[in-house]
Amino acid sequence: MKVIVGLGITGLSCARFLAKRGVDFAVIDTRENPRYLSVFKQEFPNIPLYLGGWYPEVLARVDEIIVSPGLDLKNTPIEKQIKQGKSVIGDIELFARFCQAPVVGITGSNGKSTVTTLLGEMAKASGLNVAVGGNLGIPVLDLLQQNGDAELFVLELSSFQLELTRSLKLKAAVLLNVSPDHMDRYLNFNEYLSAKLRIYDDCEITVINGDENLLDIGLIFGDKELCFFSSNKPSDGEFGLVGDVIYFGEQELIKASELKIQGRHQLNNLLAALSLGKAINLPMNAMLDVAKKFAGLPHRCQFVRNYHDVAWYNDSKGTNVGATLAAIDGLSGPIILIAGGQAKGADFSIWRESVKEKVKTVILIGEDGPAIDRAICDVTNIIYADSMAEAVRVAARVAEFGDKVLLSPGCASFDMFRDFVDRGEQFTRLVRALC
């Protein structure tokens, strides 16, 4: 018998997957009223359900524990079960045991969703029956059940998902970049990095961002096929940038001016998608056609409007310091930055150089605004706002001809908003209402 811990969207998908295969299971959630409780009871009225605690006696008697990725296992009864040798897995491990089609895996602190979506569109344009999901969109087990005839799976994978995965064999894999994130959950940056690097454990073609210097940390790839991309002039068989032009070796492929996506970090995302596509033999013409049409994902440095010759950008998905740094570096200044929220133990000092160079004013919102203030107050002007509405009003007041207003909080949103989508939608609605 198995037990699913956590009745969120991932836990519900695990329940449906196990039930369809006739596997006996129970569900535990430490909350009294988890979000999908009523749905679960309707679909599975006879499945044992334990709420409001960890129920260590239940954990002890099952043969495997399936954990939702949002749960921190440290100092819990599940950690005790792991030390005693109990199998503890996540939904990606279940997927790996049953999936028969080739899989491409994408992880990183920033850009995962964009690269995953881009590659999925490129594969679709190449005529493949492709399924796209994982940490993005549809839970991976639902994806598997809905796309049994898929020729390719393209998965966004979080560090939390990779921690609990042992059997995933990938046709190609990439770690896009690594910057401090989830430091409230990891002991240190190296522990976080180690979780991300698990994506390379069993992959056929290893795609590497040459800008990240992963080889310098002592990684040993053995006889694996390596494929590099970087923001510099490429060598033969690699993708890279010369100015704002993407090259494959000596071949010029596409200019930044031909693209709808903007910013240096978006060009790096495109380089990664092209590298993965090349690794799985997608036609170059199909990939470039998709690149020209791709307008980016909502809440990811998304252009909102021009107002009085000031450009406004919604980067609400910038939930960590690295994402915001990439957004700042990807835009030409001067910038008015709206930032703040729940910092997750982040170190905002890495913003100092870019903020000093490009950001004329930072408008702070949320509970950890003071942490940002302490890190950068001597290199820019700081203004506090009590709400998103006030932040937008202040930005409109201080912005001058040619400025850019960027919402890129560098923090989680849950202190003030439902999620990053809610935060971005409120910002976008307020900006469009300016008159």
Q: What is the pLDDT of residues 47-98, one digit of tens each?
A: 999 999 999 999 999 999 999 987 888 889 999 999 999 999 999 999 999 9
Q: Is 315 found in the same domain as 279?
A: no
Q: Is 237 found in the same domain as 174?
A: yes
Nearest to 48, CA basis, from 80, 21, 15: 15
Spatial separation of the C-alpha atoms in residues 301 and 382, rounded to whole Å: 22
pTM: 0.83
pLDDT recorded at residue 193? 85
Average pLDDT value over all residues in the chain: 93
Does the pLDDT at position 166 exceed 80?
A: yes
Percent of the chain with pLDDT over 70: 97
CATH of the domain at 398: 3.90.190.20
Domain boundary among 89, 111, 131: 89
pLDDT recorded at residue 430? 98
Maximum Cα–Cα distance across the chain: 67
Which one of the listed residues 2, 182, 278, 299 is annotated catalytic? 182
Q: Is 77 found in the same domain as 175?
A: no
Rg from Cα positions in the chain:
22
Position 159: which residue type? S
Q: What is the pLDDT of residues 354-403, one digit of tens each?
A: 999 999 999 999 999 999 999 999 999 999 999 999 999 999 999 999 99
**Cβ 1 vs Cβ 87: under 8 Å:** no
Domain boundary among 227, 262, 293: 293
Spatial separation of the C-alpha atoms in residues 205 and 214, rounded to whole Å: 15
Q: Is 258 found in the same domain as 322?
A: no
Q: Is 214 found in the same domain as 191?
A: yes
pLDDT recorded at residue 219? 59
pLDDT recorded at residue 380? 97
Domain of 159 in residue numbering reads as 93-293
User: What average pLDDT does this structure show over 158-186?
Assistant: 86
User: What average pLDDT does this structure show over 408-420?
Assistant: 95
Q: What is the pLDDT of residues 11-33, one digit of tens each?
A: 999 999 999 999 999 999 999 99
Q: Is 144 found in the same domain as 80?
A: no
CATH of the domain at 78: 3.40.50.720
Q: Is 186 found in the same domain as 276?
A: yes
Nearest to 183, CA basis, from 369, 345, 340: 345
User: What average pLDDT does this structure show over 258-277?
Assistant: 92
pLDDT recorded at residue 221? 64
Which one of the listed residues 135, 177, 269, 314 is annotated catalytic? 135
Instruction: Decide if 182 is catalytic.
Output: yes
Q: Coil, strand, or helix at residue 382? A: strand
User: What average pLDDT does this structure show over 265-282?
Assistant: 96
Q: Is 170 found in the same domain as 220?
A: yes
Q: Is 200 found in the same domain as 307?
A: no
Which one of the listed residues 112, 265, 344, 358 is annotated catalytic? 112
Instruction: Decide if 135 is catalytic.
Output: yes
Domain boundary among 32, 65, 89: 89
Q: Is 287 found in the same domain as 178?
A: yes
Q: Coil, strand, or helix at residue 201? A: coil
pLDDT recorded at residue 123? 98
Q: Using DSSP, how many helices (H) and how many strands (E) does the chain show?
A: 16, 20
Q: Is 115 found in the same domain as 71?
A: no
Q: What domain count does the chain have? A: 3
Q: Is 203 found in the same domain as 166?
A: yes
pLDDT recorded at residue 224? 74
